Structures are given as structure tokens and as C-alpha cells.
Amino acid sequence: MSGRPLIAIGAAAAVISAGLVAMSVTGAPTALVVLQGVAGLVGLGLGGVIAAQSPDPRGRGAMAAVGLALAALAATLFFAGTDGVHRWIALGPVQFLPSAVALPILVWFAVARPTGWAGPAVVILAAAFCAAQPDTQAVGALFAAVATLVLLGMWRPPWLLALAACLIAGIVAAFAPPLEPVAYVEQVVPLAFEAGPVFGLVAVAGLIGVPATILLASWGRFGPTTAAMVALWLIFCAASLSGTLPTPVIGFGLSWVLGFGLSLGLVAGSGHRRPRDTPPHTP
């Protein structure tokens, strides 16, 4: 393997490594740092396999993946939450955050359906589930992805309705009570700077590197899938700067690392299907 694929993998590994450093200096237990590193390797492997397979977003496998993604988002509402917040699924000792893995799948699926109601319907359902959890970070990221697609030419009424649904979901989710932050999950960047300027810069570089690496994974074949996925992760990361929301990939969170690898694979694989991904540029 050479060229852009190798550069993308190296960049992703560097981002995950920056996160391990940032977690360590902000007080994460060694066991969790090791676990995050293992999850990072799994995520990179997952991304590589998906990129190599170049799955078809219009195939039956994609439909099954979307069904599981929506089911996972809905399932959070049936698990015990914290102060009225239901964003996780308890898997034994592990708390799985479905939005980190489900939203990249749903965006990838929706982009391939610029016409009709299938893509917008999936977005509307996802926004509703995230608002019910409630999760402002997820709803904001989904809104950014859909807004990007609208700006790229998806001006049809179903997509405008999906964009409006995301906006309404964001207003609803904004009433979510803030949860007590955990240093190595939510407040990674400021606490890394407290540990030292170098550590702070490593954390910032890693956080910026999350959407930047997804952009790099398009291998020069920039299209709507890449644009929407970058927008999704850009808001995931920007929202974490509030200090009360998880820091994707750079902070502890196995779901974030797996979702990151998954997104890299979907973007890289979609580059080979660009003609099917490209939406029409007429209203």
C-alpha cells in the first residue's frame, strides 16, 4: 500500500495517538488508555476493510446497516439514563454511544439518495431520536451534514424538510440538562493545556485532525459524501469545546474511535462510487 491511502492511515493513527497522550495527561487510568488504543487499532482495521470493500450505499447491506443504526439510536431510550439523559447503551461494563457510529452510517446512506424521501426520512428519524435522548452534539452535527448537502444542491422539499427537522430537534435538545463532566472525556483540551503547552497543542492538533483526516481519506476525490462527513465530525469536535460534551477520539470513548474508523472507510470507499454519490445541482 502506498500513496494517499497510506498517508490517511498514518494521519488517523497520529490522531488516535494524540488522543492517548491527551487522555494520559488529563488523568485517565492506564487501563482505559490501553483500551482506547486497542479500540483505535480495531477502528483503523475496520476502516481499511470498508475502504477495500467499497460498499454500495444503495445495496441491501446498506439498508440493513441503516436499520441497525436507527434501532441503536432508539434503543438508548429504553436504558437507564443520567438526570433524564439517555445517550448510551449499557453493554456490560462498557457504555456504547450509538450516535458516534450510527450517524456516519446514516449520512453515508442519505447522501446516495439525493431524490425521493428515503434519505431525508432517515435523517428526520435520526434527528428525532437524538432530540429525545437528548443529545445536542449529535443533532448539531447532523444539522451541519444536512446543511452542507443542501448547499451542494439538494434543494428539493424533502431535504429542506429534513433540514428544518434537524433545526427543531436542536432546539428541543438544547433543553438537555448538563451532565457532570469527566476530565479525560469532556475537558481534554483545556486540561491538557494545564498539564503543559506542548500537551495542549497535541490535543488541539489531534482534535483538528479528526475532520481533517476524514477529508484526507477521500484520496483527492472530494464529493458530497466527504463534504457531509467532514461537516458531521467538524461539529462533533467543535461542540466538545464547550467542556460539557465528549471530546471525539481525543477523549476517552470507544464508540468515537470506532465511528472515526468507520467514517474513514466509508469516505474512502465512496470515492470509488462518486458518480452515484453526486447529487444533481438543479432544484
Residue 282 domain flag? no
Residue 81 domain flag? yes
In the DSSP assignment, the letter for residue 114 is -
Residues in the chain: 283
Which pLDDT score, from 0 to 100, does residue 4 have? 61
Which pLDDT score, from 0 to 100, does residue 282 have? 38
Which pLDDT score, from 0 to 100, does residue 73 have? 97
pTM of the shown model = 0.92
Rounded to 5°, the CA angle 188-192-193 comes to 125
Alpha-carbon dihedral 142, 148, 152, 153, rounded to 10 degrees: 50
Structural domain range at position 33: 4-277
Asked if 144 and 234 count as a contact pair (C-beta separation under 8 A), the reply is: yes
Which pLDDT score, from 0 to 100, does residue 82 have? 80
Residue 166 domain flag? yes
From CA 58, how far away is CA 8, in angstroms rounded? 26
How many domains is the chain built from?
Answer: 1
On the CB side of 258, CA atoms within 13 Å amount to: 16
**Across the 283 residues of the chain, what is the mean pLDDT of every consecutive 10-residue run?**
67 96 95 96 94 91 96 93 86 90 97 94 98 96 97 93 97 87 93 96 97 88 92 97 93 96 92 47 39
Residue 200 domain flag? yes
User: Dihedrals φ, ψ of 82, to 5°?
Assistant: -125, 115
Residue 283 domain flag? no
From CA 119, how far away is CA 127, in angstroms rounded? 13
Residue with cell 477529508: 215
Q: What is the number of H-type helices and E-type strands within the chain? A: 13, 2
From CA 86, how far away is CA 51, in angstroms rounded? 32
From CA 274, how far away is CA 271, in angstroms rounded? 5
From CA 105, how far away is CA 129, in angstroms rounded? 15
Q: Which of 138, 126, 243, 239 is nearest to 181 (CA)?
A: 243
From CA 198, how far away is CA 170, in angstroms rounded? 35
Asked if 228 and 104 count as a contact pair (C-beta separation under 8 A), the reply is: no
On the CB side of 86, CA atoms within 13 Å amount to: 15
Residue 225 grid cell: 459524501
